[in-house]
Amino acid sequence: MKSMSINEKRLHERIDALGQIGKIGDTGVCRLALSHEDREGVRLVQAWMAEAGMETIIDPFGNLIGVLEGLDKEAPVLMLGSHIDSQPYGGRYDGVIGVLGAIEAVQTMAEAGIKPSSNIEVVAFCDEEGCRFNKGLFGVRGMTGKLEQGELERTDKNGVTRREALLGFGCDPAAFAGYAFEEGRIGTFLELHIEQGPILEALGEPVGIVSGISGPVWWTVEMTGFAGHAGSVPMPMRQDALVGCAKIIVGLNELASSDPEAPTVGTVGSLSVFPDSRNIIPEKVSFTVDFRDIDVKRRDSMENRLIALMESACAEHGLTYTIREDTRSDPRYCAPRLRTLLREQAALIGLTPPELMSGPFHDALIMSYVCDYGMIFVRCKDGISHNPKEFSSEKDIALGVELLYRTALRLTE
């Protein structure tokens, strides 16, 4: 293959340096959105953007944006990026390689004296993960005018609202009212990301081209029964909310597993019980439901069957339930012209990347509603992500960033 254009040493030093902020254990990170650690990470990334020759701002939604000016400042921009916030028990590559790889691509361009035809914007989007306020993709939805009612009043587990967290981060939510997304301002969005799955490793390929992103649905479900003494209420007379919840958890797993050939997935990842005492029958259980599929008809069919299962469990155990829908998005496919361009540029560096779908959602999911988007996946060991054991090799990451750089260069010639 041809020699690399990017500076691999600089790229990996930056990945390592950012991995020290919010570090847990030897390899993990915890940089929750809008936290002190997140702000520290943003400041460091902002300095690297400036070093790469970009003008930087943090917008009202907490997005860090670096701009490299092009020849035609009025032309639709090429946007590159991802996120640097993490899960509470996360790895150091998720999102990060997309932001730092984009900075490296722009810096390589600038150091070569290349003036792009249009502005290039590198973005570290705020709160992609959604774990703190139970609704993700906040920054990219804010930037594209897709926020919903009540988002600023969402609270984390400590009762801190998103509004308070934004203010503490240095952003002013009052500026939301005067913000309007300019249709057509962004021409193309490219995102580099670790695969977060095992397919590339199984195929022995360092990088892949994303064909599309599954459509996620997130619920917060609350089931309510009646509390009683665990030692005196007979089993047939109980209204145990946790038993009803348990049936939903098992049922969701069975529904998502019913077609072994389908990429359908379903997860209950968070659960709280009230009154939370060993000798009181649980009166109320709140839990999250996450299910997604690349085939929207199949996903919606599973949704209907899951609701029927809730109705049945509640009728059997004398419970009531409510569903708060936190997220819903249809599957979104990458632009064919970008997939073709990525294949062409990959061939020039000796790669033949396979195409694969993404089960996890990414900032690119929301960007797909306002412009063409493309994604590059980088192989990760054992498909592990959202875990301190998450790992991608320096060589694989460098190949992904080189492909990002060459594709960006072609798009701004």
Please check whether residue 148 lies inside any domain of the structure: yes
Residue 329, pLDDT score: 85
pLDDT tops 80 at residue 1: no
> Are 242 and 294 contained in the same domain?
yes
Average pLDDT over residues 122-148: 95
Query: If phi over 0 gives left and psi between -120 and 50 gives alpha, with beta otherwise, what is residue 233?
Result: beta
308-351 per-position pLDDT tens digit: 999 999 999 999 999 999 889 889 999 999 999 999 999 999 99
Please check whether residue 181 lies inside any domain of the structure: yes
Q: What is the mean pLDDT of the chain?
A: 96
Under the banding of pLDDT at 50, 70 and 90, the label for residue 359 is confident
> Are 336 and 313 contained in the same domain?
no
> Are 315 and 363 contained in the same domain?
no
Indicate the residue among 270, 294, 328 that finishes a domain.
328
Per the annotation, does 386 bind a ligand? yes
> Are 322 and 342 contained in the same domain?
no
pLDDT tops 90 at residue 139: yes
Please check whether residue 163 lies inside any domain of the structure: yes
Half-sphere CA count of 20, side-chain side, radius 13 A:
7
CATH code of the domain in which 286 resides: 3.30.70.360
Which is more confident, 177 or 354?
A: 354
Quick one: tokens of 368?
């797909």
CATH code of the domain in which 112 resides: 3.40.630.10
pLDDT tops 80 at residue 249: yes
pLDDT tops 70 at residue 24: yes
Residue 52: phi, psi to the nearest 5? -80, 0
Point out which residues pair with 322 in neighbouring strands.
222
Which is more confident, 373 or 330?
A: 373
Indicate the residue among 313, 328, 343 that finishes a domain.
328
> Are 125 and 27 contained in the same domain?
yes
Per the annotation, does 182 bind a ligand? no
Please check whether residue 1 lies inside any domain of the structure: no
CB neighbour list of residue 347: distance below 8 Å, 6 or more residues apart = none
Per the annotation, does 129 bind a ligand? yes
Average pLDDT over residues 4-25: 97
> Are 348 and 220 contained in the same domain?
no
Average pLDDT over residues 27-49: 98
Residue 2, pLDDT score: 63
Please check whether residue 301 lies inside any domain of the structure: yes
> Are 199 and 344 contained in the same domain?
yes
> Are 170 and 236 contained in the same domain?
no
Please check whether residue 296 lies inside any domain of the structure: yes
Residue 175, pLDDT score: 94
Give how many domains the chain has, as a whole number: 2
Residue 281, pLDDT score: 98
Average pLDDT over residues 375-392: 96
> Are 121 and 54 contained in the same domain?
yes
Please give the Cα distance from 314 to 317 (Å, whole number): 5
pTM, entire model: 0.85
Please check whether residue 86 lies inside any domain of the structure: yes
Please check whether residue 2 lies inside any domain of the structure: no
Q: What percent of the chain has pLDDT over 70?
A: 100
- Average the pLDDT over each of 44-48, 63-67, 295-299 and give the range with the smallest value: 295-299
> Are 124 and 231 contained in the same domain?
no
> Are 247 and 360 contained in the same domain?
no
Domain of 97? Answer: 8-214+331-411
Average pLDDT over residues 158-178: 96
Indicate the residue among 288, 313, 328 that finishes a domain.
328
Please give the Cα distance from 58 to 170 (Å, whole number): 9
Residue 31, pLDDT score: 98
> Are 177 and 287 contained in the same domain?
no
